A and B are shown apart, each in its own frame.
Chain A
Amino acid sequence: QQPVQSPQAVILREGEDAVINCSSSKALYSVHWYRQKHGEAPVFLMILLKGGEQKGHDKISASFNEKKQQSSLYLTASQLSYSGTYFCGTAGAAGNKLTFGGGTRVLVKP
């Protein structure tokens, strides 16, 4: 069962903030976040493991609530380079593969 991402798309002005959510109906062991720019490979941003930790990558951070089976990605003071499609990937305890959400398209305008 693939995780559900919301919103599907968001348009921001440079410097604005945004939140992308990722929800699963299955118990999760970890959540990954990736960003893909058009025509390029998805690029790894961060992994969050069970324990509700929050991580950061530049001004992009994320949280993981394993009880709610949800993760959120926070884009703070967005930059033009943040534009792209963000995917969450989830793994259960077996952890053999990631199941990806449908993606959230982010466009940051000057």
Chain B
Amino acid sequence: EAGVTQFPSHSVIEKGQTVTLRCDPISGHDNLYWYRRVMGKEIKFLLHFVKESKQDESGMPNNRFLAERTGGTYSTLKVQPAELEDSGVYFCASSGLVRSYNSPLHFGNGTRLTVT
């Protein structure tokens, strides 16, 4: 079974530019999560999809961030325009069960975003 894949693995952009991150979850996993880890800090929740619907987007920092999940398959996270504080590692995770309390999360390797 293929794992969660994320693209690109690294991205360096200038402040004000746009970047789009992509995540392909494990096939059949309805739940898809985006998390972000800023240098040395906690892995912080951004949002949760169930299939193509946004279940919880309470962690999205502001309206410069836009997440979509087309047809309940892959997801994209767009940052437009990027700011310096957006730098960090963006992780995508998927799980097969609705309730995360009893379902392991399968993480991708992350996208390291650097905004200069």
Residues of A within 8 A of B (CB): 2, 29-30, 32, 34, 39-44, 47, 49, 87, 89, 91-93, 95-103
Contact = CB atoms under 8 A, between A and B. Distances in A.
Contacts, number: 69
Given A96-B48, A97-B33, A97-B48, A42 B43 contact: yes
A2 B55 contact: no
Given A44-B106, A97-B48, A2 B42 contact: yes
A2 B99 CA distance: 19
Interface of B: 3-4, 33, 35, 41-45, 48, 55-56, 91, 99-110
Query: Majority SS of interface residues in chain B?
Result: mixed
Contacts of A87: 42-43
Contacts of B102: 30, 47, 49, 95
A interface: dominant SS: loop
B110 to A, nearest CB: 7
Nearest to A43: B107
A53 to B, nearest CB: 12
Contacts of B100: 91, 95-98
Contacts of A42: 43, 91, 105, 107
B56 A97 contact: yes
Nearest to B9: A39
